[in-house]
Structure 1
Amino acid sequence: MRGSTALSFALTLAGVVAFQADIRADSNRDGKVSIDDSSDLGESKQTWTEESGAMFLPNIGDTMGRCRDLNSGNEEALVKCNDASDDIQRAPQYLAPLKTVPIQDLGPGAVGKISVSDQAARSLVRVFRPKGDGWEIVTDETSFSAEELAKGLELGIDARGPRGHKIDGTRLWDGRATVEFTVIDGETNSTDSVAMRVAPLLTQTHQQRAVKVFASSTLKSDNQMLNQFQQIVKESGIEEPLHQVVGLTPFIQDLFETMYASIPGPDGAITSMPILLPAPANNYEWVTEAGGHVARQIRFTGVGMVTDVVPDDDNQETLDSMGNLETIPPYEFNGKKYPAGRIVVGANETAGRVPLSVPFLQAQEMQDPLLVDSTWLEIQHVDEFLQFLPAKTSPRGWRVMVADPLGALKILQDAKADGYGNDSYSSRPLTGKTPVVSLEKYLSPTLIKTNEECARRIQGTIDLLKRETGITDDDIMGVPVLYYKALDVQIPANGDFQVGAVYPNAINGLVLSDSAYVAPQQFGLINGTGTDIMQHAVEEVYKKAGFDVKFVDDWEMHEIKGDVHCATNVIREIPAPWWQPGQPEASPPEASPKASPSEGGQQMDPREREQKLCENIGKSLDECRPQVAECVFRARKEGITGQDEDETWKKIEECVKAVI
């Protein structure tokens, strides 16, 4: 344990009982700080590793939309504002605990000090002490009395930003912070410290069930698509209705990637927060404006947002859109472990074209981004040809779906052989952009050559995934996607070859759960039985993968070079803790206490209790949830959550009424 001064040591040798400062955090990651035993001592207290060491959260949500309301006309100020942008604690449920071991028999003039040793970290870390019903910031000037030290301090810590947060505009913070506790009693002093680190921000995988789906209201030129989304979300069992974001591009997938940070919580729970990573944006006006829209309409209570991904003078391009990011589910291979999965992004390293967010993603030190070539695609996003699905029947737990242009070609070639050569290759009703062309004419040597080249490019990615993850052909399934060669190339490519999808791109869909998938309607050739041959093939592939497919008419998106995945975004449930792979799935922190069933009665679900409480005071769940969370926190702090369930909730309701 660090820290006795020479004088303290000398006094001890002389037979004088000297005090010893002792500060502890949840270094063994069991969800509590232990001061009655040695479980939070040892190497994990002084040295942080992926396997052990205390963690804390970036508390960067916007409780009750405070930032939104304060900065209605200032986009820059809105984006920079969050719950931790000043010294007021607005979301104590996201604090990580710190405790000091009580020190008896100090002189009346003894004082204690709490500090963060590294100055760079000090500017990004907040430590709080309880005060009344709230919390007060602890600064270098804060002193704790001998009476407080005798009782032991109970503190909370959070961060103003995540790992990768910029220091002085250039350096990236690694999230490490050493918290020091110093006690001074006359001429004697003692210092102890504990090593902590901000939890990494991790991307979601498709093994996590969707709990909230977003789409842009600009799709309302034809309400059919939005209406279909709404119905599918409702039927899928997602509690929250489709969230329509106003005033944004329809390409909402490209605007942000939902990540999350999580740490051990009390009683085996997990304390976590979804955090939005906006696409780097400086040159694309529609994306730059979108940052404010995302901060205003999607970031809120319990949903954070990263605000400084790239330097102001960097140039943003299509590779920086978040549709160009997918995540391999957790795996181990060749001695490397990725307990939270691994990021895949499209890039062209040879030409120096790498997404600007990669350094930030690398700073999390958990999901080492794998770069694949996507520049042969017109839009150049990996979600146009690559997808990772949960697989219940696979020992790996997931499988790879790749676009299969040769499979799509064969479907059409077989239809021609069956006598459909004079039929239109597409069943989409006529528009100016959909000429009537017979299947025989459409199956030109150019089309065949184009799709053979696409297959070669895709095989390069498959080979890379095999080398990096250990997958075999048994883990891979092909989804029929037919490509055409783009003639008017607008974006730099890896060579002069770029393609787009002929039919709405079936692999560019929305994974809702381990069995529900939303794909774009195909509008392929209709055979003599009235079957869309391309859509039938897509449905069969996903059925074989264990998925029920709902098809959506997204033609208005397809005409502007996007499909279902491009038009949607999601927040997913928080998975099992990455620091304990294989644990049961966990949920985001609930505002509700985990009360025991009342004696002789039936226990009401905590969410139902919360809903009923809000109804009782005439507020919506979104309006009163932050106050419920605060009052539950107070109840736990006061030790009343172990009482009768009904009585507990009565006290929580009284507290909420008082707060509101």
Structure 2
Amino acid sequence: MLLAFAACDKEVPPSFSVATPLGAFAGGDTVAAPGVPLTADMDDDDRDGVIDWEQRAAIGNDQAILLLSVKDKPLRLTFSSEAGGARLWRNGEVLLDAEAAGEVTVEMIAGTREVSLGVQLRDLLGEATLTIVDVDEEGVEGEPLVIPFRAAPLLINHHLLPATHLWAMSVSSGDSYENKSMVSALSDALGDDFTPIPGSSYGYDVWVQDELEFATMSAPESFMDFVIDSIRSGGGRGLDDVPEDFMEDADFGRATWGDGTRASSQDSFGNLECSPPVTVDGVEYPLGRVYYGIGPTGGPVKELRDMLDAQQVQRPFSLDTSWLIVGHVDEFISTIPDPAAPNGFWVIVSDANVAWDVLESLDPNTELARWSGREARYEGHDMDTVGDILNEPGLRELNEDIAADHVEPNLELFLTELGLSEDNVIRIPGLFYEPWGRSYGAVALLPGMANLTVWNPEGEGVKLFMADPFIRGEDVDQSADPMIAAVRALMPPSVEAVFLDDWFVYHMGLGEVHCGTNVTRAPLANWWTAGAHLLQD
């Protein structure tokens, strides 16, 4: 569908004019970098199972539409792309095809009047240039109009972007393996904005965050939700088919980077996050910065890291997650929105000292029904009381070492890379332990409340879905849980902390709420204006 374009604000030469999504131009005008934005045609608008680019058909709204008015002189159009992957359409038919690198030229006779042109690009941040010049009877060219085109970068979502939908696996395999309480709580809180994925159809693979990373591409006339599909599963195993079954809509793209035969835990997307917008050493990152963890065998697969680096506007950095069994950044650090906070958000980090302060304030005989594992359907930590945690041999020393050697250095690096300080941090209770010995690494002992999911729809308040710590006895509800009370007291007034029972399926499976949920979000800033200074030629 053609949209209304801005009128040209200068006297237009009589030979031609071009209306673009950025305004109207004529010979001799300059179209500023990055040029006319569009989305790479990586979706399946007609939902026939074939990406639109591969069909050589004008499908959907991913083209940049131009209206060319040809008047009293013939025109010469030259369409070029150094990397290839570009097409120029005229009235629904391919006029110039730069599938391969190079340039192609066509003559257009005078008096054609108004012609609809469409530019289509294949790749993320793909580029093409259309040069239009009039030619007089002597063959002399007039002042050219050079129009650059730039496909959108793939933008990883961050927690300040408005949430639009939440996904989690629903599992019920008898009393021994089910998450009915968590799914019910999410459904009650979110209604139609929540989709439970049936576990029996996807191998009971509950780690929805680890399989999928949601992102977006946008341009003035098009928008595309996007799924980066992890290499952690393939061949229809586990969650592999979820994007095709639930998310492959007309404007929902999908791609995988890397070879699944080389997958490690660092290729799961609890290990791939994006900060909110920041300014670092005077450089603005209005779309945030991507970060991921480096484990014992390295970080995410090279193909994915190369793709993230190539997007430029969310310049990635890495943290050390080699000390964790699972090895994901979401296990100990996150960000939450708060309009009253410096920069509009807080950094959340797990802190053992905060946990000890809460536990030491309690009667050591306080029962821990869930921790003891006395409930037949739950595995526990073989700790019957708060005193058992406080007196666990070596636990305090282990957490002191983890804080000094890993959490604090990672936090310092995180703050430095984002231009932040300790004033931007909220420390919440967190304890780690090494269930299989030091050589295997650490995992959350106290259910990891930093491993949280942010729900913040546009125009509504912020909900944080967090793991219920269960520092209470049997038949005692959340209102009497001192750890929950302590965490709520640390949260800003604009934030509501909602505690979910993720104990058996997630916590005892070495994950937490964030690992088992995923959220689509709507973009706010335009990359072609706010992020243009970060794009390299």
Q: Please indicate, yes or no, whether the TM-score normalized by the shorter chain is above 0.5.
A: yes
Q: Equivalent residue for 2:30? A: 42
1:83 Cα deviation (Å)? Answer: 2.3
Deviations 1:519-550 (A, max 9, x none): 122212349997222222223223x3631122
1:287 Cα deviation (Å)? Answer: 8.1
Counterpart Cα distance in 2 of 1:487 and 1:21? 77
Q: Equivalent residue for 2:483? A: 534
Q: Equivalent residue for 1:188? A: 139
Any residues of structure 2 matched to 1:421-500 within 5 Å, and which? 426=371, 429-431=375-377, 433-434=379-380, 435-443=382-390, 444-456=392-404, 457-487=406-436, 496=439, 498-500=441-443
Counterpart Cα distance in 2 of 1:241 and 1:425? 27
Q: Does 1:502 align with 2:445?
A: yes
Structure 1 counterpart of 2:442, which letter? V
Counterpart Cα distance in 2 of 1:407 and 1:470? 25
* Contact 1:96–1:156 (Cα < 8 Å) also in 2: yes
Larger strand fraction of residues: 2
Structure 1 counterpart of 2:184, which letter? N
CA 1:320–1:197: 2 relative to 1, 3 Å:
same
* Contact 2:368–2:383 (Cα < 8 Å) also in 1: no
* Counterpart pick for 2:109 among 125, 137, 146: 146
1:186 Cα deviation (Å)? Answer: 7.6
Structure 1 counterpart of 2:401, which letter? E
Larger helix fraction of residues: 1
Structure 1 counterpart of 2:325, which letter? E
Q: Equivalent residue for 1:65? A: 47
Counterpart Cα distance in 1 of 2:212 and 2:426? 28
Over the residues paired in the alignment, what is the CA RMSD in angstroms? 3.3
CA 1:466–1:224: 2 relative to 1, 3 Å:
closer
1:91 Cα deviation (Å)? Answer: 0.7
Q: Equivalent residue for 2:189? A: 232
* Contact 2:292–2:299 (Cα < 8 Å) also in 1: no
Q: Equivalent residue for 1:547? A: 495
Any residues of structure 2 matched to 1:181-220 within 5 Å, and which? 181=132, 188=139, 190=141, 193-218=146-171
1:561 Cα deviation (Å)? Answer: 1.6
Q: Does 1:383 align with 2:330?
A: yes
Q: Equivalent residue for 2:293? A: 346
Q: Does 1:56 align with 2:38?
A: yes
* Counterpart pick for 2:79 among 88, 99, 115: 115
Counterpart Cα distance in 1 of 2:418 and 2:447? 29
Counterpart Cα distance in 1 of 2:182 and 2:475? 28
Q: Equivalent residue for 1:323? A: 270
Q: Equivalent residue for 2:101? A: none
**3-state DSSP of counterpart to 1:470:** coil
**3-state DSSP of counterpart to 1:376:** coil
Counterpart Cα distance in 2 of 1:484 and 1:241? 33
Counterpart Cα distance in 2 of 1:324 and 1:402? 15
* Counterpart pick for 2:64 among 96, 100, 103: 96
Deviations 1:316-363 (A, max 9, x none): 111111111121111112122211011111115x96445432111110
* Contact 1:114–1:138 (Cα < 8 Å) also in 2: no
Q: Equivalent residue for 2:202? A: 247
**Is 284-293 or 447-456 further displaced after alignment?**
284-293
Counterpart Cα distance in 2 of 1:228 and 1:529? 18
* Counterpart pick for 1:126 among 71, 87, 96: 87
Deviations 1:172-215 (A, max 9, x none): xxx22223446678872746532221111111111112111112
Aligned residues: 492
* Counterpart pick for 1:399 among 329, 334, 346: 346
* Contact 2:453–2:465 (Cα < 8 Å) also in 1: yes
* Counterpart pick for 2:282 among 326, 330, 335: 335
Any residues of structure 2 matched to 1:244-393 within 5 Å, and which? 244=197, 246-247=201-202, 249-265=205-221, 271-281=222-232, 284-285=233-234, 290-307=239-256, 309-310=257-258, 312=259, 315-348=262-295, 352-356=298-302, 357-393=304-340
Percent identity of equivalent pairs: 24
CA 1:323–1:352: 2 relative to 1, 3 Å:
closer
**Is 379-388 or 568-577 further displaced after alignment?**
568-577
1:285 Cα deviation (Å)? Answer: 4.7
**3-state DSSP of counterpart to 2:54:** coil
Structure 2 counterpart of 1:511, which letter? V
CA 1:58–1:219: 2 relative to 1, 3 Å:
farther
**3-state DSSP of counterpart to 2:215:** strand
* Contact 2:209–2:514 (Cα < 8 Å) also in 1: yes
Deviations 1:9-63 (A, max 9, x none): xxxxxxxxxx99878575xxxx44303798xx3262xxx34xxx22211122223
* Counterpart pick for 1:156 among 96, 118, 126: 118
CA 1:158–1:290: 2 relative to 1, 3 Å:
farther
1:509 Cα deviation (Å)? Answer: 2.0
Counterpart Cα distance in 1 of 2:499 and 2:366? 26
Q: Equivalent residue for 1:420? A: 365
Q: Equivalent residue for 2:10? A: none
**3-state DSSP of counterpart to 1:409:** helix
Show structure 1 runs of 5+ residues with no match: 1-18, 68-80, 164-174, 266-270, 490-495, 583-660
**3-state DSSP of counterpart to 2:184:** helix
CA 1:433–1:314: 2 relative to 1, 3 Å:
closer
Show structure 2 runs of 5+ residues with no match: 1-12, 98-103, 532-537
1:314 Cα deviation (Å)? Answer: 6.8
Q: Does 1:511 align with 2:499?
A: no
Structure 1 counterpart of 2:284, which letter? K
1:218 Cα deviation (Å)? Answer: 4.1
Counterpart Cα distance in 2 of 1:367 and 1:486? 36
Structure 2 counterpart of 1:563, which letter? E
1:225 Cα deviation (Å)? Answer: 2.7
**3-state DSSP of counterpart to 1:226:** helix
Counterpart Cα distance in 1 of 2:516 and 2:476? 32
CA 1:280–1:527: 2 relative to 1, 3 Å:
closer
**3-state DSSP of counterpart to 2:274:** strand
Counterpart Cα distance in 2 of 1:352 and 1:578? 30
Report the TM-score, using the length of structure 2 for normalisation.
0.82
**3-state DSSP of counterpart to 1:242:** strand
Report the TM-score, using the length of structure 1 for normalisation.
0.67
